[in-house]
Structure 1
Amino acid sequence: MRKARHHKKVKINKKRLTVTLLALIFLLAGITVLLHGCGPQGPTEEELAEQQRLEEERRQEEERQRQEEEKRQAEEKSRQDRMYAYENGFLMLLNKEHSVDENYKAEDMVMIAEEYCCPDRSASTRYMREEAVVQFQKMLDAGRAEGQVIKMTTAYRSYWFQKTLWDNYVKKDGEAAAARYSARPGTSEHQSGLAVDVSSASVDWYLRNAFGETPEGKWLAEHCAEYGFILRYPVDGEEKTGYMYEPWHVRYVTAPVAKEITEKGLVLEEYLALYDWENGGVPVQ
């Protein structure tokens, strides 16, 4: 009798344990479902795509702002460079409409070293403004290092020197013809101390158009802007400058200005018209 009761009690306990375990299992399952339903969800494909789109827009905006800032800084650097040239007189314009009087001579003139000059040149013609001389001699050194020997034939000319030349040319060819290749006194770039005529042995040190086709002339045309010089009277430029082609005549304007003039295919008159020099050298609107 006691065994039967004990056996029955064990069965009841097992049943209770089973029920309890099942209840716990269902409870845990419910909690898991509840937690999963209330917890943070992973982003959907649409949400991921939107996040990527916004990130790309942010990246593009940052890149746009970076490029704009680089452009602004480059423009400001260019403005400062051209104002340096302008304020120091390196953009001085001498042509048929712009002149100086017989007394004009720049204060910072220095002599070009003899090794850079053609033989038997008058000492009085070997002067240029100091910065121009430094860059001119560097340019000729660079040419020589590449086998292109170029030398000065004439740099500075006084008002009276130019008057003598002009009078002789007018007597020889007439005023109209002379005006195409020679400047009236007071309008010659050579009086500015910023211009220099050059030549080479390829043309026997003469000033000839053929110089432009020599190895030395081609080297000069290709590299002079690196040293701040421009070919002042280019091919097909007579209507703009008033003078015939002169491949031997280079003019100092500083390297940043020379590079811009050369890259844009301008003459000095056109370049000067691009900017408002009385208002900080900003572009003309």
Structure 2
Amino acid sequence: MSEFYVSEKRKMIFYKQQIKTSLSRRLIVAVSVALLVSQTFLYSLGIPLMASGVHPESHSGLLPPAFELSQGGTNHGSGQPEGPVKHPSEGALPGAVTQSAIQPTALTNDINKGLLILVNKQHAVDKEYKPSDLTAIKYYAEDRSPSSRYMREEAAQAFNQMSEAAAQEGYTIVVTTAYRSYEFQTQLYNNYVNTYGQAAADTFSAQPGKSEHQTGLSADVSSPSVHYELTKKYIDTAEGKWLNDNAHKFGFIIRFPLGKEDITGYMYEPWHVRYVGKTAAEEIYTKGITLEEYWDSYLKTME
């Protein structure tokens, strides 16, 4: 997705949201005036219209994290964020736009909890970002760093459930590394660059600040059948096939699928899962698309 396309798309959606918000406010004022004409009608309702669940900060639509302006970023009034987006410590999306609080959808909730945050080669998180709800995972490879056995609370619980479901069918699936700090990712990436060169390293390792692992929503997983290694052969194992076919039931997707390298920017990784919540995971799995394509298709619904 080109810089020009992103910029124009963001402007178009922003202007649409402004128009919708303005019309909504006028409609609310008109209805409120009509209601005030009849005190009897107001009393029959029992509560005023604005107390019916419409949050003052709610808007009529949602913007994906890749296109929403950051409350914590540096914008200088230009309407365009400068540098990496700063995400709040609790892991919510910056400047998240919500639908009416009357009937929030599952996808709305997942977006506003930051579960669909888009972090890739084009969209980075600030080096200081760290989720405040990191929770220890129950099932992990014991020979890996203890500091990497954490995910955001909801993702950790979902992984535990997925691992237990796999175990009931005779499969062992555990985390090798999940959360990675900016500093850890820096060391890892630099080691790969020194060993393989930057061009090769960039096909399988994210640059610091551009790794999903820093969000606490991603994890590399493996099994004893491949000696807990991260290998493309994992998809040929019973555990790897089970993960590929069932991860979405627990809110996970295979983040870098086969045949989508030109979109994700990374080689196929059957071991790398990303938590996005069950609603998005089901659609992404069913359509056989990536998280990038999911956001792109969502934007088209806003046109």
Q: Give the alignment's TM-score, normalised by structure 1.
A: 0.69
Q: What is the CA–CA distance in structure 2 between the aligned matches of 1:87 and 1:232, rounded to whole Å?
A: 20
Q: Please identify, of 257-266 and 79-88, the stretch whose mean Cα deviation from structure 2 is larger.
A: 79-88
Choose the corresponding residue for 2:173, options 147, 150, 154. Answer: 150
5 Å-filtered alignment, 1:64-79, equals none
Choose the corresponding residue for 2:288, options 256, 265, 270. Answer: 265
The DSSP-based 3-state class of the residue aligned with 2:253 is strand
Choose the corresponding residue for 1:92, options 102, 108, 117. Answer: 117
Q: Please identify, of 255-264 and 120-129, the stretch whose mean Cα deviation from structure 2 is larger.
A: 120-129
5 Å-filtered alignment, 1:182-221, equals 182-221=205-244
Q: CA deviation at 1:142?
A: 0.3
The number of residue pairs the alignment matches comes to 202
Is the contact made by 1:156 and 1:190 (CA closer than 8 Å) also made in structure 2? Answer: yes
**Alpha-carbon deviations, 1:56-112, whole Å to 9, x = none?**
xxxxxxxxxxxxxxxxxxxx9x98222111111000111000001211011111111
The DSSP-based 3-state class of the residue aligned with 1:196 is strand
Is the contact made by 1:225 and 1:255 (CA closer than 8 Å) also made in structure 2? Answer: yes
Find out whether 1:283 has 2:301 as its counterpart.
yes
Find out whether 1:230 has 2:242 as its counterpart.
no
Is the contact made by 1:156 and 1:191 (CA closer than 8 Å) also made in structure 2? Answer: yes
Amino acid aligned to 2:170: G
5 Å-filtered alignment, 1:125-164, equals 125-164=148-187
**Alpha-carbon deviations, 1:11-67, whole Å to 9, x = none?**
xxxxxxxxxxxxxxxxxxxxxxxxxxxxxxxxxxxxxxxxxxxxxxxxxxxxxxxxx
Amino acid aligned to 2:130: K
**Alpha-carbon deviations, 1:205-251, whole Å to 9, x = none?**
10000011100000000000000000000011110100000000000
Q: What is the CA–CA distance in structure 1 between the aligned matches of 2:302 and 2:197, rounded to whole Å?
A: 40
Is the contact made by 1:155 and 1:190 (CA closer than 8 Å) also made in structure 2? Answer: yes
Residue equivalent to 2:146: 123
Is the contact made by 1:95 and 1:189 (CA closer than 8 Å) also made in structure 2? Answer: yes
Q: CA deviation at 1:264?
A: 0.7
Percentage identity across paired residues of the two chains: 49
Amino acid aligned to 1:84: N
Q: What is the CA–CA distance in structure 1 between the aligned matches of 2:108 and 2:171, rounded to whole Å?
A: 33
**Alpha-carbon deviations, 1:134-185, whole Å to 9, x = none?**
1100000000000111111000100010000111111111111110000000
Q: What is the CA–CA distance in structure 2 between the aligned matches of 1:101 and 1:255, rounded to whole Å?
A: 27
Amino acid aligned to 2:255: R
Q: Give the alignment's TM-score, normalised by structure 2.
A: 0.65
Q: What is the CA–CA distance in structure 2 between the aligned matches of 1:206 and 1:112, rounded to whole Å?
A: 19
Residue equivalent to 2:128: 103
Residue equivalent to 1:251: 274
Is the contact made by 1:81 and 1:257 (CA closer than 8 Å) also made in structure 2? Answer: no
Amino acid aligned to 2:152: R
Q: What is the CA–CA distance in structure 2 between the aligned matches of 1:178 and 1:121, rounded to whole Å?
A: 21
Q: What is the CA–CA distance in structure 2 between the aligned matches of 1:161 and 1:212, rounded to whole Å?
A: 27
